[in-house]
C-alpha cells in the first residue's frame, strides 16, 4: 500500500527561475521579447512565402512549414514560462506535464525530419537539377511534410507512457523550465534503467540518423558545387544552402550537447541554460538567418514592406 501511494502524484512544481527572485520581472520581459520575436519572425516568413509568386517553390514550401513548426515548438514551452514568471505559480498538473513532455519531443523529432527533408530538397536541386521538377512535385512535398509530422507521434506516445507510468516519490520539485526527461527521471523511484535506455535509443535513432543523412546530403552537394565552372555559379549554389546548413549546425549542435552529454549534478543550472538555448534562442535566430542569408527572401520582404 505504501508503494502504491508513492505514484499518486497529482502535480509537479517547475522551479524554473525561482532561484533568481530579484530577476523575475527582467526575465519576464526578456522572454516576452524573445517569444514575440519568434512569432513575428517566423510568422513573417510564412506570410511572404505564401503571397510572393517567386517563392512558390518546394524549398520555400518546406521553409514555410518549418517556420510554422518553430512557432508550435516554442509555444509548448514559453507561454507557461511567462505565466510562471508573471503569477509566481509554478505548479503543473501530472496530465499537463505529460502532455507538455510528449508534445515537445514530437515537435523536436518533427524538426529533425523536416530539416532532413529540406537537405534532401537542396540535394536534388543541385545534384539532379534536370529531374528536380519531377522528383520534388507538389504531391511528394506534401507527403514529405506530413510524414515528418506524424512519424514521431506513436514512438513518443509510448515513451511518454513509459516515463509517466513510473512511481514518483520524495520531492515533487522539477528543477527545470519544463517537463524534460532528466529532471523527471531524478524524481522517479526504483530502477529507471529501461526507461533511460529507451529514451536514449530513440534520441540516437531519430536524432542522429537524420543528422547523418543531412551530412551525407551536404557532402554530395559540396562535391557537386565544386565541379560547377565559374565563381558566380558556385556562389549562387552555396548561397541557397548556407542558411539551411547554419540552422542545422545550430539546432543539432545544441540538441547533442543537451541530451547526449553525461549527466552532471554538480552544475545544477547547466540543463536550464542549454534548454533555453535549444528551445528559445535557436528558433529566434532561424528567421534572421534565413532572411539575411537568402536574397529571394530579402527581396520578397522589401516588396512587402514597400506595399
User: Highest-confidence range of 52-56, 70-74, 249-253, 262-266, by mean pLDDT?
Assistant: 70-74
Angle between helices 78-87 and 58-75 (to 10 degrees): 30
**Is pLDDT of 298 > 70?**
yes
pLDDT at 144: 93
Q: How confident is the model at residue 303 (pLDDT cuts 50, 70, 90)?
A: confident
Q: How many CB atoms lie within 10 A of CB 32?
A: 15
Determine how β-strand 91-93 pairs with β-strand 11-14: antiparallel
pLDDT tens track for 114-134: 989 998 998 998 888 889 999
Q: Nearest 5°: phi and psi at 286? A: -55, -50
CA–CA separation, 185 and 166 (whole Å) = 9
Asked if 124 and 58 count as a contact pair (C-beta separation under 8 A), the reply is no
Q: How confident is the model at residue 257 (pLDDT cuts 50, 70, 90)?
A: confident
Cell of 80: 507557461
For residue 264, give the H/E element and its range.
Answer: none
Q: How far apart are the first and last CA of the chain?
A: 70
Q: How confident is the model at residue 79 (pLDDT cuts 50, 70, 90)?
A: very high
pLDDT tens track for 41-60: 899 889 888 888 878 889 88
Collapsing DSSP states into helix, strand and coil, what is residue 168? strand
Q: How many CB atoms lie within 10 A of CB 238?
A: 15
pLDDT at 231: 64
Average pLDDT, the chain: 82
CA–CA separation, 76 and 81 (whole Å) = 10
Residue bearing cell 558556385: 234
pTM here is 0.86
pLDDT at 206: 80
Lateral strand order in the sheet of 91-93: 91-93, 11-14, 173-174
Asked if 74 and 280 count as a contact pair (C-beta separation under 8 A), the reply is yes
Q: Which CATH number does 2-306 carry? A: 1.20.1070.10
pLDDT at 5: 44
CA–CA separation, 166 and 176 (whole Å) = 19
Closest CA to 292 of 235, 249, 250, 246: 246
Q: What is the DSSP letter of 152?
A: T
Q: Which residue has the higher pLDDT, 5 or 94?
A: 94
Amino acid at each position: 500500500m505504501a508503494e502504491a501511494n508513492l505514484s499518486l502524484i497529482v502535480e509537479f512544481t517547475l522551479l524554473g527561475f525561482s532561484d533568481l527572485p530579484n530577476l523575475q520581472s527582467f526575465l519576464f520581459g526578456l522572454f516576452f521579447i524573445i517569444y514575440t520575436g519568434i512569432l513575428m519572425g517566423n510568422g513573417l516568413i510564412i506570410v511572404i512565402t505564401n503571397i510572393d509568386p517567386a517563392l512558390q517553390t518546394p524549398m520555400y514550401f518546406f521553409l514555410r512549414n518549418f517556420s510554422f513548426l518553430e512557432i508550435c515548438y516554442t509555444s509548448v514551452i514559453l507561454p507557461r514560462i511567462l505565466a510562471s514568471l508573471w503569477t509566481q505559480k509554478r505548479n503543473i498538473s501530472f496530465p499537463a506535464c505529460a502532455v507538455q513532455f510528449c508534445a515537445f519531443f514530437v515537435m523536436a523529432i518533427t524538426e529533425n525530419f523536416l530539416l532532413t527533408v529540406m537537405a534532401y530538397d537542396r540535394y536534388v536541386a543541385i545534384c539532379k537539377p534536370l529531374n528536380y521538377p519531377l522528383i520534388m512535385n507538389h504531391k511528394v512535398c506534401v507527403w514529405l511534410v506530413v510524414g515528418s509530422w506524424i512519424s514521431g507521434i506513436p514512438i513518443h506516445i509510448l515513451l511518454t507512457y513509459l516515463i509517466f507510468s513510473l512511481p514518483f516519490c520524495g520531492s515533487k520539485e522539477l528543477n527545470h523550465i519544463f517537463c524534460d526527461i532528466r529532471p523527471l527521471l531524478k524524481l522517479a523511484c526504483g530502477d529507471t534503467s529501461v526507461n533511460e535506455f529507451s529514451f536514449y535509443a530513440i534520441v540516437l535513432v531519430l536524432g542522429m540518423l537524420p543528422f547523418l543523412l543531412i551530412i551525407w546530403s551536404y557532402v554530395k552537394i559540396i562535391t557537386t558545387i565544386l565541379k560547377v565552372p565559374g565563381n558566380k555559379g558556385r556562389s549562387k549554389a552555396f548561397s541557397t544552402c548556407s542558411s539551411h546548413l547554419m540552422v542545422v549546425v545550430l539546432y543539432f549542435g545544441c540538441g547533442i550537447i543537451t541530451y547526449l552529454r553525461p549527466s552532471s549534478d554538480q552544475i545544477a543550472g547547466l540543463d536550464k541554460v542549454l534548454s533555453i538555448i535549444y528551445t528559445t534562442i535557436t528558433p529566434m535566430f532561424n528567421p534572421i538567418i534565413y532572411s539575411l542569408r537568402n536574397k529571394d527572401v530579402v527581396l520578397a520582404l522589401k516588396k512587402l514592406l514597400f506595399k
